[in-house]
Amino acid sequence: MNMNELCVSFQPPKPPFDVVLVTGAAGFIGSRAVRLLSDLGCRVIAVDNGYVKLPLPAASAQIVPVTADIRDRQLMKQIFADHRPDAVLHLAAVHHIPTCERDPHLAFDVNVMGTQSLLEAAEAVGTGSIVMASSGAVYVWDSGPLIEGETATGASDVYSITKLANEYQVKGWAERVGARAHLVRLFNTIGNGDPNGHLIPDILAQIVGGDERPVVRLGNTKPKRDYIYVNDVASGFVSALAYIKDGPPIDTFNLCTGRELSVAELVHLMGDILGKEITIESELSRFRRVDRLQQLGNPEKLERKTGWKAAWDARAALTAIVEGLGYLPAASRSNTSHPA
C-alpha cells in the first residue's frame, strides 16, 4: 500500500470563505494550500511572482492564477479591487536562511515591505481577515516545548527578525482597521518539491550508492527540530483560516507535530527506511555559524481550537520523500507494506 493512502491530512468540513487570496501560491506550501481551498469550494486568487521558479496553479473554475510581486503597491491594490477577496492567506516570503543572511535587503524588502503593501491593498477594499505564516524561529532558544503566550519571543537572525516584525505589523494593522488576524508559527517543513530543501536530498545522495554501509558527511548533527510534512502544513493553514471567523480577532498558533528529531536521528531513520547501516562523520567546515540546539513546538492550541492534527509522522514523511525522489524503500523491495 502506498504511504499516501495511509496518511490523510485533516481537512475542514466546509469552505472558510467564498474568495481567498493566497500569496506565495506557486510555492512548496502555497500550491498545496490552493488545491485544498479549491477542493473545499473556495474561489482562490493565486498570487506569486515566480521567485522560486515553480509554476502557478493552473487556471480553473475555482482558481485564478495571477503573476504579481507583493512589493508592487499599485498592482496589489488593483488585484484586490478586481477580485475583492474575503480573506488572505499570506505565505509569500524569502525564507531560505542562507539567502536571508547573504542578502538581508532582499529579505526585509519582500518580507516586511511586501507585507505592508499587502495590508494596504486589503484595507483599501475592506478585506477583513488574514492568516499569516510566521515562524517557530521567533521564539527565544529554549530546551522545552515552545508555547504560544508562554515562551518569550526573540529573533536571532535576519529571517526571524523579519517574521517577528511581520507579527507586529499584522497585529497592529488588524487592531487599527478592526480586522481579524491569526499568526501561524510554522516549524521545519519537509516534503517533495521544496526548492530550498537541501538537507534531505543531500543525505539521500550520500546514502543511496552501492555501499551497504555508507558514510554520510554532515555538519553539526546534534540540533533537534520539529519536522512537519508539507501536506500537514497546508491543511494546518487552511484550518487556521477556517477558524478565524469564530476565534478571537487576533491570535497566534504553532504549526508543528510536537515531536523532534536530531539531524543524526533523521539520518539513521532514512538509513533504516532504505535498509542501510549509516556511519556519520561531522565536518567542521559544514557547521553553521549560529544554530539552535532545539526547536520543539507544542501544537496543542491549534489542535484544540480547529480540530487539526498532524497525520504524518517522521517515518511516513521521509518514506514519501524517498519515494518521490525516485528511491525504493527497503520495505517495498521486500514486498512488505509501509508502516502506518
Residue 105's SS3 state is: helix
Q: Are 45 and 20 in contact (CB under 8 A)?
A: yes
Phi, psi values for residue 338, rounded to 5°: -70, 150
How many angstroms separate the CA atoms of 144 and 126, rounded? 41
How many angstroms separate the CA atoms of 128 and 270, rounded? 44
Q: Is 315 exposed, middle or buried (0-12, 13-18, 19+ CB in 10 A)?
A: middle
47: number of CA atoms within 13 Å, CB side? Answer: 26
**How far out from the chain centre does Cα 45 lie?**
19
Residue 253's SS3 state is: strand
Residue 193's region, left for phi above 0, alpha for psi from -120 to 50, else beta, is left
Phi, psi values for residue 146, rounded to 5°: -90, 125
243 is known as an active-site residue: no
How many angstroms separate the CA atoms of 105 and 161, rounded? 12
Residue 89's SS3 state is: strand
How many angstroms separate the CA atoms of 156 and 160, rounded? 6
Q: Are 338 and 274 in contact (CB under 8 A)?
A: no
How many angstroms separate the CA atoms of 253 and 309, rounded? 13
Q: Are 170 and 181 in contact (CB under 8 A)?
A: yes
Quote the radius of gyration of the chain (alpha carbons, Å): 20
Q: Is 56 exposed, middle or buried (0-12, 13-18, 19+ CB in 10 A)?
A: buried
The one catalytic residue in 139, 159, 227, 243 is 159
Residues involved in catalysis: 159
